[in-house]
């Protein structure tokens, strides 16, 4: 997956994320303009450092994840990447894509140090990878 990555804001009713329909999960301002945060170089919404300059790095690194099922949904709570454990302070978005017969689940997460990552769970391979990391 290339291009920009933006987390999803869920309506909270179990329905689709707000702004979805263009092939990418984004939060729309509602005025027909670009997604919020696009064009200012800022991080995904909810990071807390809006205004600082951020870029993301594409990765495909295998990771170890501790996840739970709550309210019939998969939720990562901690992951180990490059011999370091990251405790997830919040999941800012989640979405899924159908690849053949299998689902690939994506999670936009923020760790306790406000680092932002995109984690991917592949149901066919039953493995986790980190696909993006936001860097200053």
pLDDT in tens, the chain (136 residues): 444 444 444 434 444 444 433 344 433 334 444 443 433 444 444 444 444 567 889 999 999 999 999 999 999 999 999 999 999 999 999 999 999 999 999 999 999 999 999 999 999 999 999 999 997 6
**For residue 54, what are the CA distances in angstroms to 63, 64, 104, 123?**
23, 26, 26, 30
Of 116, 124, 118, 91, the C-alpha closest to 106 is 118
State how far Cα 6 lies from the chain centre.
7
Please list the residues that pair with 127 across neighbouring strands: 122
Question: How many whole angstroms separate alpha carbon 69 and alpha carbon 67?
Answer: 7
């Amino acid at each position: 997956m290339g291009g920009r990555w933006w987390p999803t804001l869920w309506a909270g009713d179990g329905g689709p994320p707000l702004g979805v329909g263009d092939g990418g999960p984004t939060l729309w301002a509602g005025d027909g303009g670009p997604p919020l945060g696009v064009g200012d170089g800022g991080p995904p919404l909810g990071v807390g450092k809006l205004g600082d300059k951020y870029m993301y790095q594409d990765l495909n690194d295998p990771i170890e994840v501790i996840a739970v099922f709550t309210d019939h949904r998969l939720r990562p709570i901690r992951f180990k990447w490059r011999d370091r454990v990251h405790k997830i302070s919040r999941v800012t978005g989640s979405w899924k894509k159908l690849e053949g017969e299998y689902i690939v689940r994506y999670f936009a997460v923020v760790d306790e140090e406000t680092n932002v990552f995109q984690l991917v769970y592949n149901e066919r391979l039953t493995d986790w990878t980190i696909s993006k990391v936001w860097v200053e």
